[in-house]
């Protein structure tokens, strides 16, 4: 009598936000928006305050409603691309250890930025680049829609229940939860509403994320 062949074990996957989660880009974002505001003669503090909670086109509508939004967006893209080339970027402590410790093909990036900028920042910080990057150009609906995380799972060949989302922002947390995934929050003093688990820093979360990937697949929220 021969035993039935074993089914291959289901993998578990980790989907990462980028800015604020793996890379500290706060000073870069502030500098870009301050320069943008200066070109239009606007109050940089007010522009940055609005930009933190809105998408670029919504920001333009609030702070520069009398200006051509396409012109404003082109300038913003120009400044962001220049910042990737010349700005100073820092990966959060633990990011390199974590990403190098995950199996290739078992993780992805899901960002509201653009892939070429993400790649540039990863080169600058020495972080490995995954096979799958879902950026702003890849989806019509951005976070907090579940679409970006669902697309990442599909491209990895993963079930949502087998995916762990690592996020720092409320919109990203809502996106992951709506996608039916486990969501852990990092790099914040207080937990974002809805997260299944919270860590003050990415460094603190590293061993738990690596342990999660080796556990049984399914809804393992803690």
Contacts 24+ apart (CB under 8 A), 64-68: 64/40, 67/40
Return d(Cα 199, Cα 187) in angstroms, integer. Answer: 7
**Which residue of the set 17, 24, 83, 168 is catalytic?**
17
| Paired strand residues for 165 | 15, 183
Is 19 tagged catalytic? Answer: yes
Torsion of CA 211, 213, 216, 217, to 10 degrees: 150
DSSP codes, the chain = --PPPPPPPPP-EEEE--BTTTEE-HHHHHHHHHHHHHHHT--HHHHHHHHTTS-HHHHHHHH-TTS-HHHHHHHHHHHHHHHHHHS--EEPTTHHHHHHHSPTTSEEEE-SS-HHHHHHHHHHHTPPPPSEEE-TTT-SS-TTSSHHHHHHHHHHT--GGGEEEEESSHHHHHHHHHTT-EEEE-S-SSPPTT-SEE-SSHHHHHHHHHHHHTS-SS----
Is 168 tagged catalytic? Answer: no
Catalytically annotated residues: 17, 19
């Amino acid at each position: 009598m021969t035993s039935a062949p074993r089914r291959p074990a289901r993998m578990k996957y980790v989907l990462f936000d980028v800015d604020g989660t793996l890379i500290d880009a706060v000073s870069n974002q502030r500098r870009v928006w301050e320069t943008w505001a200066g070109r239009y003669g606007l109050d940089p503090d007010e522009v940055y305050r609005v930009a933190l909670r809105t998408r670029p086109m919504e920001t333009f509508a609030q702070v520069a409603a009398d200006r051509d939004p396409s012109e404003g967006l082109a300038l913003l893209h120009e400044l962001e691309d220049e910042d990737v080339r010349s700005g100073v970027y820092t990966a959060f402590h633990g990011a390199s250890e974590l990403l190098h410790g995950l199996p290739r093909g078992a993780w992805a990036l899901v960002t509201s930025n653009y892939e070429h900028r993400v790649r540039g920042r990863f080169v600058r910080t020495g972080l490995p680049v995954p096979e799958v990057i879902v950026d702003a150009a890849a989806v019509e609906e951005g976070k907090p829609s579940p679409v970006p995380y669902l697309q990442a799972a599909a491209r990895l060949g993963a079930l949502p229940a087998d995916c762990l989302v690592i996020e720092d922002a409320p919109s990203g947390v809502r996106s992951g939860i709506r996608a039916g995934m486990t969501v852990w929050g990092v790099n914040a003093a207080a937990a974002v509403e809805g997260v299944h688990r919270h860590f003050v820093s990415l460094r603190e979360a590293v061993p738990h994320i690596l342990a999660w990937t080796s556990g049984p697949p399914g809804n393992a929220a803690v």
